[in-house]
Amino acid sequence: MQVMAYCENDIDCRRVLIMSYFGERFKQSDCKRYCDNCCRTANFQFEERDMSDYARTVIRAVNSAYMKQVTLNMITDMLKGSKAKAMSSHGLTELSEYGVLKDMPKVDIDRIIKQLIWDHYIDEKIEISFHGSIVSFLSPGNRVPPNNTFLTLKFA
């Protein structure tokens, strides 16, 4: 999971990420724009936002829907209130979380879900389907979110 988080992270300094993986500290200012993320984001102003309430909503959605074998895209579509046939055929339109994040960009919901997977609040089970394709289903993770702030994300 850490490799996936590293690959999909397009904001944080790569050198900071690598050094922290090995238990060492590295100041982003010492990178001097040598990594791809520092080069690309040098002129950006980032804002950290508390996404904990949204994350709790996502966790509740996964907890409600996991017996229906849902994927990341299905959870995102459910939270957005998609009218796709899969929503009704899997009974997702009947859940209380259906459509509650309709105003949030899909990419932000995906970021929250991926971070929750990496932090073990949600599990991702990878299976080979009857037709031989690889499918990953979401299920409740082994961590319970605290009542305070537990998920912040950076936005440009």
Return phi, psi of residue 48, to 5°.
Answer: -90, 130
Show Cβ contacts of residue 151 under 8 Å, excluding neighbours closer than 6 positions. Answer: 50, 51, 52, 54, 55, 112, 115, 116, 119, 145
This prediction has a pTM of: 0.81
Query: Residue 6 has what pLDDT?
Result: 81
Query: Percent of the chain beyond pLDDT 90?
Result: 63
Mean pLDDT of 1-21: 81
Looking at the predicted structure, is the pLDDT value of residue 7 above 90? Answer: no
Task: Give helix then strand counts, H and E, for the chain.
Answer: 7, 4
Residue 121: CB atoms within 10 Å: 23
Band (1; pLDDT cuts 50, 70, 90): low
